[in-house]
Amino acid sequence: MRFLVCLAGAALILATPAAAKTVAILQGLDKITARISRIEAPVDSPVRFGTLTILVRACHKRPPEEPPESAAFLEIEEMRPGDTATRPLFSGWMFASSPALSAIEHPVYDIGVLDCVENPEGEGPQKAE
């Protein structure tokens, strides 16, 4: 059922004339320290947040005259200390308006989409600590 709702949401965001953007603005929460970080993740460039590697494959935002919605297709993997290979955690669409719809299942970290923007010329992306 959850898959169908996520699929319907992805169809809705893609059916409207949403503009593809180059940078996803994400929010990362470290549940142990209660630290919230803002992550600027360029499309097709991996960024690190703790032990997670986040790769944004697509980021779409509705035009201003439509109801607000941003959605990003994320692939999230984890590499724990001492491991040589990454472990896939999440692959799918995340929506800014419904973070619980497709949340990652991780005991330490939460990741959510805030917005999709164009990368201003001359400014590089900011990586999370």
Q: Where in the chain are the domains?
A: 2-117
Q: What is the pLDDT of residue 121?
A: 53
Q: Dihedral of CA 93/40/96/49: which sign? A: positive
More confident residue, 44 or 121: 44
CB within 8 A of 99, min separation 6: which ones?
Answer: 112, 113
**Residue 123, pLDDT above cutoff 90:** no
pLDDT grade for 2, boundaries at 50, 70 and 90: very low
Q: What is the pLDDT of residue 3?
A: 46
Q: Give percent above pLDDT 90 in the chain.
A: 58
- The structure tokens listed for 41 are 């993740």
**Residue 24, pLDDT above cutoff 80:** yes
49 forms beta bridges with: 52
- The structure tokens listed for 30 are 């470290």
**Residue 23, pLDDT above cutoff 90:** yes
**Residue 55, pLDDT above cutoff 70:** yes
Q: What is the pLDDT of residue 51?
A: 94
CA pair distance 61, 48, nearest whole angstrom: 23
For residues 100-105, average pLDDT? 86
